[in-house]
Structure 1
Amino acid sequence: MTYETLGIDTDDRGVATLTLNRPDKHNAMSGQMIVELKQAAEALSSDESVRVVVLTGAGKSFCAGGDLGWMQEQMAADPDTRFVEARKLAEALQALNTMPKPLIGRLQGNAFGGGVGMASVCDVAIGVDSLTMGLTETKLGLIPATIGPYVLSRMGEAMARRVFMSARLFKAPEAVTLGLLAKAVPSDDLDAAVEAEIKPYLACAPGAVARAKALARKLGPVIDDAVIDHTIGELVACWEGQEAKDGIGAFFSKEKPKWAS
């Protein structure tokens, strides 16, 4: 399958690199990318030749979150369309989270909003020590809704509440403390650090790895249809609210929203 917003390259060991490929937009997730992420996750999940998947971004950033143009479209859409689009995002995240292959995040530059969610669905995420992260949704009158279950699962509630509502930016060392990153390394060491995470899996039985991952997910926090539906409802409610209209409008007009001091 050919993708417009993603790249997939698989080496002779069965290590597939899934690359977010909108570098000019800092890999912000457009509607097209969201659809393609689910398709890619499903394709990689069913490909028996793939042993490990590395998730990364092309260019300067890992992922700047949701594409603001896509968000504007949702606020202008009818309610049914909003629910459909929000569900596409939720399903893409769940497809990545339940992929029966080890998913290793390779993060550079920035990871904001949905980019933090993407890091959270990885089994392990490695970032450069200059990485900047942040759950920036509330600055736009939104909330980290569909990514919320994965962020909370990764960080735990106590850690998440330090950054979940404030839109505060933080650097890689704090991301390690918060549990979002397994480690932060100099940029020259990033590939070697990712390779160190890949290598042990190549000596493991693929079926056993898949079953162990599924068991860990089963024993961890519940992320089922009811939870996902609730997050979709919360996101749609924000899209329909005045704060999101004001926040995203202010962003495009390069002004401060009325609540910003």
Structure 2
Amino acid sequence: MSEPMVRTETDARGVTRITLDRPDKRNAFDSDVMAALADALEQAGRDARCRVVILQGSGKHFSAGADLGYMKQTAALSHDDNVADAMALAGLMQTLDRLHKPTIARVQGAAFGGALGLICACDIAIAGDNARFCLSEARLGLAPAAIAPYVVRAMGPRQARRYFLTTEEIAAERAAELGVVHEVVPLEDLDETVEQIAAGLLNNGPVALDACKRLVARTQEDGPDAALIRYTAELIAGLRTGDEGQEGLQAFLDKRPPTWIREASHD
């Protein structure tokens, strides 16, 4: 029997740690990981013992984003199947965003692609000073569609335009300036800092904390709605099945520059 790719542990205080546990794959996710993570979040939401959720990755990295094998699969899917797949990712993000428990992202190492969506959908994000972030989708002829509502909300549309378009790597301190994470601490202090925040949350009324989350969402017009989520799914499905997305992914798998880079070099 294979080991679970997502582990959940709840301590006596009611702190639930949900861990992406594929350190050999840098905690990259595929459809199975997304389903397991969504299930873990839903269970935490229903668990009366759970007071605080900490989302983390095992090993050296939080998450490298999409798994290579998963990316190959999406390239071969039809438009409709890609919509369904994108809706599953969008549903995961929304489940995390709307969880009735306070959530903390504990971030170390790489946090690429979809991992930024998870981080920005959490209530609080704390990063070690070795963390680095990247919205790399455009390199593959794609766009960070399903995670965009949460990333744009965190960093604002002006900054999102830059980092969606340039795909440049973002250092931890810059991520804090952008609002992607709340605080950056030395890596050796990461666990202690996350623990202090979790302990502080436990001092507050669970009903009040849920009310605070709903209050903020209400002031922001209740966050991403069904129409926006559907739009993001249709967008990424169209890009994945289009000529540029197919070429970008194949070039990535072949470890060669995509045609648009070769063409640009001839100008």
TM-score by length of 1: 0.96
One-letter identity of the residue aligned with 1:252 = L
One-letter identity of the residue aligned with 2:244 = E
Deviations 1:171-222 (A, max 9, x none): 1010011100111111110011111211221111111111211221122253
Please tell me whether the aligned partners of residues 75 and 249 of structure 2 are also in contact (alpha carbons under 8 angstroms): no
One-letter identity of the residue aligned with 1:77 = L
Secondary structure, counterpart of 1:55 in structure 2: strand
Alignment-derived partner of residue 149 in structure 2:
149
Alignment-derived partner of residue 63 in structure 1:
63
One-letter identity of the residue aligned with 1:231 = T
Distance in structure 2 (CA, Å) of the matches to 1:84 and 1:3: 27
Alignment-derived partner of residue 81 in structure 1:
81
Please tell me whether the aligned partners of residues 111 and 133 of structure 2 are also in contact (alpha carbons under 8 angstroms): yes
Alignment-derived partner of residue 244 in structure 1:
245
Alignment-derived partner of residue 42 in structure 2:
42
After alignment, is 43-52 or 70-79 more displaced?
Answer: 70-79
Distance in structure 1 (CA, Å) of the matches to 2:78 and 2:234: 14
Question: 1:104-253 counterparts in 2 under 5 A?
Answer: 104-220=104-220, 222-253=223-254
Give the unaligned 5+ runs of structure 2: none
For residue 157 of structure 1, report the CA deviation from its aligned partner.
1.0
Identity %: 38
Secondary structure, counterpart of 2:246 in structure 1: helix
Secondary structure, counterpart of 2:260 in structure 1: coil
Structure ranking higher in helix proportion: 2
Please tell me whether the aligned partners of residues 135 and 163 of structure 2 are also in contact (alpha carbons under 8 angstroms): yes
For residue 98 of structure 1, report the CA deviation from its aligned partner.
0.4
Secondary structure, counterpart of 2:53 in structure 1: strand
Please tell me whether the aligned partners of residues 77 and 241 of structure 2 are also in contact (alpha carbons under 8 angstroms): no
One-letter identity of the residue aligned with 2:210 = A
Give the unaligned 5+ runs of structure 1: none
Please tell me whether the aligned partners of residues 126 and 194 of structure 1 are also in contact (alpha carbons under 8 angstroms): yes
Deviations 1:17-62 (A, max 9, x none): 1101111111111110111121111110111110000000011110
For residue 3 of structure 1, report the CA deviation from its aligned partner.
7.8
Please tell me whether the aligned partners of residues 38 and 92 of structure 1 are also in contact (alpha carbons under 8 angstroms): yes
Secondary structure, counterpart of 1:162 in structure 2: helix
One-letter identity of the residue aligned with 2:240 = W
For residue 153 of structure 1, report the CA deviation from its aligned partner.
1.1
TM-score by length of 2: 0.94
Aligned length: 260
Secondary structure, counterpart of 1:16 in structure 2: strand
Distance in structure 1 (CA, Å) of the matches to 2:115 and 2:69: 16
After alignment, is 154-163 or 174-183 more displaced?
Answer: 154-163
One-letter identity of the residue aligned with 1:189 = D
Deviations 1:108-132 (A, max 9, x none): 1100010111110111111111111
